[in-house]
Structure 1
Amino acid sequence: MHLGDHRLPQGRATLAPQLLRKVRPGFEALLASRPEAVVCWHTDRLVRVTKDLERVIALGVNVHAARAGHLDLSTPAGRAVARTVTAWATYEGEQKAERQVLANLQAAKAGKPYTAGIRPFGYGKDHVTIVPAEADAVREGASMILAGESLSAVARRWTEAGLLSPRSIAAGATAWTLRGVKKVLTSPRYFGRRTYRGEVMGEAERSAILDDAAHYAVVSILSNPDRFSGGPRTGRTATTLLSGIALCGVCGDSVSGRGYRGTKVYGCRQTHTRSPRDVADERAENATLARMVRPDFLPTVLAMRAGEGEADTAYLRAQVKSLRERLDGLALAYAEGAISLSQMTAGSGSLRSRLEDTESKLCGVTGLPPLDPVAGIAGLIEGWAGTPLPVKRSWVQFCTLVTLMPANGKHARKMTPDDHVSVGWPCLDGSAEDGEAV
């Protein structure tokens, strides 16, 4: 005799098909034990679908239910009764599931939070109250993506801060995954929207953590296929000084950082050059600083600053490029089904407004990299070692023309810095004409 596990399947409010297909360890153990009889609390706890009943019938034993009596499966009449009881149990489960689906849909349209399961990152157990530390992390993560940093950088930041998601904690994880970070930063719940099965239903009865413009901007960046197709990496910030700035002396393409036989080098896609990064970086930085101390540099920059006003054209152009890429990303995300039409329309309107404003500021502005108006050029030179990489890159690009040369049969150990790198000083208007070799 085997006492059936009356807790399996779990007594839930819904019996969706995906739940019915789940493996029931207790039921499988019952069948494998080849019992002489089965005792259970209720037949509904033993079987609720016909396929499970047929497996019990195949055992050829009697079923005794404490709340539903005896089922003699050894006779045609008993099997007919059992099949009828199971059919009605299946019907009842499907009805409950349908009612639950309609109730969930109605709650979603009313903006009520779905409070079943583990709480979402950023909100409390009621799925409504904001958790300040986690909400700040979401805002910081969105700002990092908008600034060009990667999902990996956001994942590291959240993990190092000890702010793991409740779901990952329940699963025993110790760090954020890229998929988890992306799911958080692209979820409409964080700008106050209620979704149902992936579709935005309307405003939610919870406070927003992000504004809609930031949300749609992040979605467009993270949905852009160029992030994974070898094209411009819109969601990744440069981690080397000369990537995308220095040019290959053979093909003229921009170079990127890579490794070669244990050495960090710069090279183009066709690997015409493998210039050591430390050599190229030192040459480029020294040439930039040498250009800054030239007598004509400060007056020229001051004149450009006076004509520039408060705006930085390099920054503004980067903003225009980023906003256009985000618009394209929204369109692609909608085409691929990642976002709904309402999301794309709202996001496009917000981005177009910002694009028009940025383009209007760009008109008539000259091209000077970001500069601290208090410290000036002298402060920039003095604090160059501690200058953030993005600022260094902008000044290197503004002040120099860096070309990386091929080995031409020479062994790397016998090549001098001049063999690896050629640096020139272009005119400060950005052209190469009348430039000067360093």
Structure 2
Amino acid sequence: MAKLKGGSPVRACIYVRISKDLTGEELGVARQEEECRELCARLGFEVAEVFSDNDISATKAKVRPGFEALLASQPEAIVCWHTDRLVRVTKDLERVIALGVNVHAVRAGHLDLSTPAGRAVARTVTAWATYEGEQKAERQALANVQAAKAGKPYTAGIRPFGYGDDHVTIIPAEAEAIREGASMILAGESLSAVARKWNEAGRLSPRSLAAGAKGWTLRGVKNVLTSPRYIGQRTYRGEVMGDAEWPAILDEATHYGVVSILSNPDRFSGGPRTGRTATTLLTGIAVCGVCGETVSARGYRGTKVYGCRHSHTRTPRDIADKRAESATLVRMAMPDFLPGVLALNATSGNTDAARLHAEAKGLRERLDGLALAYADGAISLSQMTAGSEALRAKVEDVESKLTGVTGLPPLDYEGGITALIEGWGTTPLSVRRGWVNFCNVVTLLPANGKHARNMTPDDHVSYEWKHSEIVLEDYRAADEEARNEQ
């Protein structure tokens, strides 16, 4: 048995490591440990402790906890399966040399680090290991590029949301969540609304589950909804390489529409550029009956209320919301409502609306075409980026003019007003806000000394319909007069 000068046996520490554990069962490090223990027995060493780094590379900047613990343990000797399991870069070798102990390897023999010759050999071996690692990395990078160009999935990582462990097979429930999330963004809802929807439905990210996170973050939702993966495109280091082998979950028009919205610089931080959407029905719509300013949502003595900045009113939100929605639904249910509104938009503004619709559609198709051309390699990334920014700015300008011409909130023209009324409870908040604002002037009234429990809804809220038949007739008469003058 090998002994120290004092007569006690050498207490060796075993170090084992593999870079990739594809099964997660640690079989590779277990086999290394078994052979290292056999070597210790042959050398007469006593095994003091075993240190392991499973699924961790020795060439990347990642900290190896097992390696750090080995160095801190001040071993009398180190036993490993191969020296490249212990060190693959010179800086790590120098830290081992500083320990002043010998290294014994099952497959690479003995490195005597106590002599200049032994240290020189160790440095040479490590230099070649570094070279081999760099060459392997270059070969792997080339293989990854080729696989990406061929559209093959990268299956070494955690499966993507929406696809199975093979990174190709669609998981229907998750795919439906992605489609619903994209539709919510296109309808004007926020990333936080999508995150809440997915979390409440239990559609959690595989990556967050692996990391022990509680749910979706806004960044995670945005990464999913803007990833070319979901329109069947393969990327490498963030660049689109071409069509992928897996099926798409989103159509291209939906994807590029979402990308355009979420990439808009107006969503970034700073006042109105935050991209936040209103989370209450009447914020910024209802007005104070005293000062005429629009109200915002707040709390007062444990009650959710609306109020202006001067606190002239503290109207309970549930009463105000119910009153405003009831007034809107009653107005929309009247037989003159939809024909009158459509008639108003079918006058002189119709020509402009049709022209702007066609222009916006053409711009969006060109925007989509840029991305497809880049994916096909027809244009460069810089060309696509510059062209997309210019086109998006033009689309935003045209759509702003279009809203001013039509004046109508979003409406499913197939289902019409009937479908809107019937589905009001599940209609996105942004759409409900648009129709409440279109139909009414909602005024929140001060208490005037009354106690809240003695106030009726009429005491709290008054409304006036914006588009009564008389108003529409006035609009039509004015428009008819203008057209006759032309």
TM-score range, shorter chain: 0.7 to 0.9
1:231 matched to which residue of 2?
272
Deviation at 1:142, TM superposition (A): 0.8
Q: Output aligned runs, 1:244-323, within 5 Å.
A: 244-249=284-289, 252-268=292-308, 273-285=313-325, 298-299=335-336, 302-305=339-342
1:29 matched to which residue of 2?
69
Superimposed CA distance per residue, residues 147-198 of structure 1 (whole angstroms, 9 cap, x where no aligned partner): 2223333233333443333223323345333332222111111112211111
Deviation at 1:29, TM superposition (A): 2.5
Work out whether residues 403 and 423 of structure 1, in 8 Å CA contact, stay in contact via their aligned partners in 2. yes
Seen in structure 2, the aligned counterparts of structure 1 residues 430 and 146 have a Cα distance that, compared at 3 Å, is: farther
For 2:96 and 2:414, the matched residues in 1 are separated by: 82
Work out whether residues 148 and 235 of structure 1, in 8 Å CA contact, stay in contact via their aligned partners in 2. no
For 1:351 and 1:132, the matched residues in 2 are separated by: 35
- AA paired with 1:231? P
2:15 matched to which residue of 1?
5
User: When the two structures are aligned, how many residues end up with a matched partner?
Assistant: 408
What is the DSSP-based 3-state SS (H/G/I as helix, E as strand, rest coil) of the residue aligned with 1:241? Answer: coil
2:83 matched to which residue of 1?
43
Deviation at 1:341, TM superposition (A): 5.3
- AA paired with 1:428? S
What is the DSSP-based 3-state SS (H/G/I as helix, E as strand, rest coil) of the residue aligned with 2:79? Answer: strand
For 1:191 and 1:39, the matched residues in 2 are separated by: 51
For 2:115 and 2:413, the matched residues in 1 are separated by: 92
Work out whether residues 13 and 76 of structure 2, in 8 Å CA contact, stay in contact via their aligned partners in 1. no
Seen in structure 2, the aligned counterparts of structure 1 residues 149 and 395 have a Cα distance that, compared at 3 Å, is: closer
Work out whether residues 82 and 108 of structure 2, in 8 Å CA contact, stay in contact via their aligned partners in 1. yes
Q: Output aligned runs, 1:368-387, within 5 Å.
A: none
Q: 1:90 aligns with which of 105, 127, 130?
A: 130
1:118 matched to which residue of 2?
158
Work out whether residues 217 and 347 of structure 1, in 8 Å CA contact, stay in contact via their aligned partners in 2. no
For 2:74 and 2:270, the matched residues in 1 are separated by: 56
1:218 matched to which residue of 2?
258
- AA paired with 2:113? L
Matched, 1:151 2:161: no
- Stretch of structure 1 that moved more, 257-266 or 391-400: 391-400
Work out whether residues 344 and 472 of structure 2, in 8 Å CA contact, stay in contact via their aligned partners in 1. no
For 1:40 and 1:387, the matched residues in 2 are separated by: 63
Work out whether residues 89 and 130 of structure 2, in 8 Å CA contact, stay in contact via their aligned partners in 1. yes
Work out whether residues 76 and 101 of structure 2, in 8 Å CA contact, stay in contact via their aligned partners in 1. yes
Work out whether residues 368 and 398 of structure 1, in 8 Å CA contact, stay in contact via their aligned partners in 2. yes
For 1:218 and 1:242, the matched residues in 2 are separated by: 26
For 2:417 and 2:198, the matched residues in 1 are separated by: 35
For 2:328 and 2:311, the matched residues in 1 are separated by: 26
Work out whether residues 242 and 255 of structure 1, in 8 Å CA contact, stay in contact via their aligned partners in 2. yes
Matched, 1:400 2:410: no
What is the DSSP-based 3-state SS (H/G/I as helix, E as strand, rest coil) of the residue aligned with 2:189? Answer: coil
Q: Output aligned runs, 1:154-173, within 5 Å.
A: 154-173=194-213
For 1:387 and 1:124, the matched residues in 2 are separated by: 31
For 1:62 and 1:375, the matched residues in 2 are separated by: 82
For 1:113 and 1:430, the matched residues in 2 are separated by: 63
Seen in structure 2, the aligned counterparts of structure 1 residues 5 and 289 have a Cα distance that, compared at 3 Å, is: closer
Work out whether residues 189 and 208 of structure 1, in 8 Å CA contact, stay in contact via their aligned partners in 2. yes
Seen in structure 2, the aligned counterparts of structure 1 residues 58 and 413 have a Cα distance that, compared at 3 Å, is: same
Please give the TM-score of this superposition, normalised by the length of structure 2.
0.67
- Stretch of structure 1 that moved more, 149-158 or 89-98: 149-158
What is the DSSP-based 3-state SS (H/G/I as helix, E as strand, rest coil) of the residue aligned with 1:89? Answer: helix
Deviation at 1:357, TM superposition (A): 9.9
Deviation at 1:220, TM superposition (A): 2.5
Work out the percentage of aligned pairs sharing the same amino acid: 65
Work out whether residues 216 and 347 of structure 1, in 8 Å CA contact, stay in contact via their aligned partners in 2. no
For 1:183 and 1:300, the matched residues in 2 are separated by: 42
For 1:371 and 1:42, the matched residues in 2 are separated by: 68
Superimposed CA distance per residue, residues 58-99 of structure 1 (whole angstroms, 9 cap, x where no aligned partner): 121222222222222111111111111111111111121122
Q: 2:103 aligns with which of 59, 63, 74?
A: 63
Work out whether residues 307 and 365 of structure 1, in 8 Å CA contact, stay in contact via their aligned partners in 2. no
Superimposed CA distance per residue, residues 388-413 of structure 1 (whole angstroms, 9 cap, x where no aligned partner): 56665455434432233567899878
What is the DSSP-based 3-state SS (H/G/I as helix, E as strand, rest coil) of the residue aligned with 1:219? Answer: helix
Work out whether residues 4 and 26 of structure 1, in 8 Å CA contact, stay in contact via their aligned partners in 2. no
What is the DSSP-based 3-state SS (H/G/I as helix, E as strand, rest coil) of the residue aligned with 2:241? Answer: strand
Name the larger-Rg structure.
2
What is the DSSP-based 3-state SS (H/G/I as helix, E as strand, rest coil) of the residue aligned with 2:104? Answer: strand
Deviation at 1:414, TM superposition (A): 8.6
For 2:92 and 2:85, the matched residues in 1 are separated by: 11
Work out whether residues 159 and 206 of structure 2, in 8 Å CA contact, stay in contact via their aligned partners in 1. yes
For 2:64 and 2:309, the matched residues in 1 are separated by: 54
- AA paired with 2:123? R
Superimposed CA distance per residue, residues 28-53 of structure 1 (whole angstroms, 9 cap, x where no aligned partner): 23222222222222211121111221
Work out whether residues 212 and 347 of structure 1, in 8 Å CA contact, stay in contact via their aligned partners in 2. no
- AA paired with 2:178? V
Deviation at 1:275, TM superposition (A): 2.9
Please give the TM-score of this superposition, normalised by the length of structure 1.
0.73
What 5-or-longer segments of structure 1 have no aligned partner? none
Deviation at 1:246, TM superposition (A): 1.1
Deviation at 1:244, TM superposition (A): 2.8
Work out whether residues 331 and 337 of structure 2, in 8 Å CA contact, stay in contact via their aligned partners in 1. no
Matched, 1:129 2:165: no
Seen in structure 2, the aligned counterparts of structure 1 residues 117 and 376 have a Cα distance that, compared at 3 Å, is: closer
Seen in structure 2, the aligned counterparts of structure 1 residues 342 and 268 have a Cα distance that, compared at 3 Å, is: farther
Q: 1:342 aligns with which of 360, 384, 392?
A: 384
For 2:188 and 2:128, the matched residues in 1 are separated by: 58
Deviation at 1:129, TM superposition (A): 2.5
What 5-or-longer segments of structure 2 have no aligned partner? 1-10, 23-54, 372-380, 475-486
- AA paired with 1:124? G
Q: 1:208 aligns with which of 248, 261, 279?
A: 248
